[in-house]
Amino acid sequence: AQKVTQAQTEISVVEKEDVTLDCVYETRDTTYYLFWYKQPPSGELVFLIRRNSFDEQNEISGRYSWNFQKSTSSFNFTITASQVVDSAVYFCALAFTGGGNKLTFGTGTQLKVEL
Amino acid sequence: DGGITQSPKYLFRKEGQNVTLSCEQNLNHDAMYWYRQDPGQGLRLIYYSQIVNDFQKGDIAEGYSVSREKKESFPLTVTSAQKNPTAFYLCASSPFRGTAKETQYFGPGTRLLVL
């Protein structure tokens, strides 16, 4: 069975702090895809990144970076120098080749960035 | 602008009533999906469709029905058999059918409340 665990329910930081959101996944498939989405208060999910299981290179996009480690089944997300606009719920999700288009979501991490 | 639209933003249902949520996309995507989100939980898949006139049940299809008569439209009906319909409903689409690697893009959501 596929499963995604986001153990951090809520994180509060002060603006300009760095913050890491954890994501641990379970799957028996060798080919799978991992995603991060941002859900601001408006509700719409915004796609941030997709990573396939054969690409363990870390990725950086501006203040965002992702660390994918197959050895620990983790796909963690770091925001550097956080800003108030980063306040949102962040979801990690998993898709595997045997599951068609189905995404399995974690329960999300609520990030609050305060001044 | 290309995107996914959902209407209405808020919907109220009376006991025993069927209600239909609209989802339209002009991205020329093949696949479309419906998810349900409850407070503090991740998204759960209700139904998905990879091609016109075909759809499959997701993890929580009971009490819901869908149709896919046009590529751009995938309405969801919440029937009276759904005993706990209060939730946030999100529609999504992805470019190609049947592949796990495709990124799903989401609409703004409809919040359904029971009177």
Asked if B40 lies within 8 A of A107 by C-beta distance, the reply is yes
d(CA A18, CA A16): 7
Token pair of B72 as six digits: 């751009």
- Cα torsion through A104, B98, A47, B88, rounded to 10: -60
The pLDDT of residue B1 is above 80 = no
Which of the pair, B33 or A57, is modelled with greater confidence?
B33
How big, in percent rounded to 5, are the helix, strand and coil portions of chain B?
Answer: 0, 50, 50
For residue B15, what pLDDT band results from cuts at 50, 70 and 90?
Answer: confident
pLDDT more than 70, % of chain A: 97
The pLDDT of residue A100 is above 70 = no
Nearest to A109 by CA among A87, A84, A83: A87
For residue A93, what pLDDT band results from cuts at 50, 70 and 90?
Answer: very high
Q: Tell me the per-residue pLDDT of A15-40, one tens digit each, with 9 for 90 and over.
A: 999 999 999 999 998 889 999 999 99
Report chain A residues whose CB lies below 8 A from the CB of B88.
43
Angle at A21 between CA A76 and CA A70, to 5 degrees: 20
B27 close to A (CB below 8 A): no
Chain A residue nearest residue B38, CA to CA: A107
For residue A97, what pLDDT band results from cuts at 50, 70 and 90?
Answer: confident
- pLDDT at residue A7, rounded to an integer: 96
Separation of first and last alpha carbons in chain B: 35
Strands B4-7 and A19-21: unpaired
Asked if B50 lies within 8 A of A102 by C-beta distance, the reply is no
For residue B114, what pLDDT band results from cuts at 50, 70 and 90?
Answer: confident
A36 close to B (CB below 8 A): no
B7 close to A (CB below 8 A): no
